[in-house]
């Protein structure tokens, strides 16, 4: 029995030793195979402080602000009163003043007269073919001719130069017109009816024959607002006939102490060549676009013939819807002194 106990103890010891060996072997393999790698520590990103870069502002070139000038209203000749109490110095020669260039006895062919006619032409100081000039056609009274107002040293010659010197009027060409429009060898016939009818034809001669000649030989602006016609006495009536017969060509009309024969003025108008009308049925009524910009009528209080005629013309135009200025001027008669003060006013109101 003791022998069996020793054997059992011996077997148990062998089993314990085997188990210990197995456990030791298992621990070594595990140690060899399981290697713990050190953890990689993620370093936080280093954020560099952002430096604010100043915005680059490109220098700008200052653009000057152009302030438009106020629009100047068109010149209205009716808004300015005419002056008649003026200095005689306006009609005198003054040293240092340029009175332009006078071209006398200019000949042109008139188809209306079927003959050659003449005129005098006054060019402004500094006349140049590079510039276009407005034109004033000046008509004389009964019995005179183209030299009556436009000659060397005439009142109109001196007045025009003096006004230009003071910048009171526009540079223009002034043409002294011969009202007689017929064969020249009949001009001195002592026949009032013949003279009257030859005078009437100047209303055609100016636009049909004289104006084309002036255009061909001089630098002119042909617009109607660059063309004026003026006349005194019988020439005052003819200026009305010329301007209203062709309103598309004339923007300004001056009729100074006009005779009463442009239209019917009296009951027995056919009894005299002084009163027989050019327009028996009245003035042609111009269209709105062709109405004159300025119609100037004037007569002196001492005029022996044409005070009532001048007033009648004004009433007729007003009835037609045509603006006009009618001046009844104290102290003046029917003469060159009055023509001068009237042209002083007219020259300052045209072509502006």
Three-class SS state of 261: coil
CB-side neighbour CA atoms (13 Å) of 92:
6
Each residue's pLDDT tens digit, 117-166: 999 999 999 999 999 999 999 999 999 999 999 999 999 999 999 999 99
Q: Label residue 106 exposed, middle or buried (CB < 10 Å: 0-12, 13-18, 19+).
A: middle
Q: Label residue 179 exposed, middle or buried (CB < 10 Å: 0-12, 13-18, 19+).
A: buried
- Residues of the chain short of pLDDT 70, as ranges, are 1-66, 68-69
Domains of the chain and any CATH numbers: 90-347 (3.40.50.1820)
User: Residue 263 carries which DSSP code?
Assistant: B
User: Residue 206 carries which DSSP code?
Assistant: I
Query: Are 119 and 147 within 8 A, CB to CB?
Result: no
Task: Give residue 262's pLDDT.
Answer: 98
Closest CA to 122 of 146, 86, 93: 146
Each residue's pLDDT tens digit, 198-221: 999 999 999 999 999 999 999 999
Region of residue 100 (phi > 0: left; psi between -120 and 50: alpha; otherwise: beta): left
């Amino acid at each position: 029995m003791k022998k069996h106990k020793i054997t059992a103890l011996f077997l148990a010891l062998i089993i314990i030793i085997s188990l210990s060996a197995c456990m030791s072997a298992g621990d070594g393999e595990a140690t060899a195979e399981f290697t713990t790698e050190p953890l990689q520590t993620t370093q936080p990103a280093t954020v560099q402080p952002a430096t604010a870069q100043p915005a680059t502002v490109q220098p700008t070139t200052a653009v000057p602000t152009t302030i438009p000038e106020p629009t100047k209203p068109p010149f209205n000749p009716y808004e300015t009163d005419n002056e008649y109490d003026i200095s005689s110095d306006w009609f005198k020669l003054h040293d240092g003043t340029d009175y332009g260039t006078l071209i006398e006895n200019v000949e042109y062919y008139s188809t209306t007269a079927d003959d050659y006619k003449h005129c005098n032409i006054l060019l402004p100081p500094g006349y140049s073919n590079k510039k276009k000039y407005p034109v004033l056609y000046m008509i004389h009274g009964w019995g005179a001719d183209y030299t009556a107002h436009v000659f060397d040293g005439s009142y109109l010659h001196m007045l025009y130069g003096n006004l230009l010197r003071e910048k009171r009027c526009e540079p223009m060409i002034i043409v002294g017109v011969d009202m007689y429009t017929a064969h020249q060898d009949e001009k001195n016939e002592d026949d009032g009816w013949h003279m009257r009818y030859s005078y009437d034809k100047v209303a055609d001669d100016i636009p049909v024959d004289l104006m084309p000649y002036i255009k061909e030989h001089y630098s002119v602006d042909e617009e109607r607002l660059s063309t004026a016609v003026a006349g005194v006495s019988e020439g005052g009536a003819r200026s009305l006939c010329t301007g209203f017969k062709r309103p598309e060509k004339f923007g300004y009309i001056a009729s100074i102490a006009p005779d009463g024969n442009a239209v019917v003025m009296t009951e027995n108008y056919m009894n005299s060549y002084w009163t027989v009308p050019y327009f028996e049925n009245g003035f042609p009524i111009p269209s709105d676009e062709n109405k004159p910009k300025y119609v100037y009528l004037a007569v002196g209080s001492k005029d022996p013939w044409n005070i009532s005629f001048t007033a009648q013309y004004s009433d007729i135009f007003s009835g037609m819807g045509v603006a006009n200025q009618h001046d009844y001027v104290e102290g003046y008669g029917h003469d060159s002194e009055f023509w001068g003060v009237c042209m002083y006013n007219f020259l300052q109101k045209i072509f502006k």
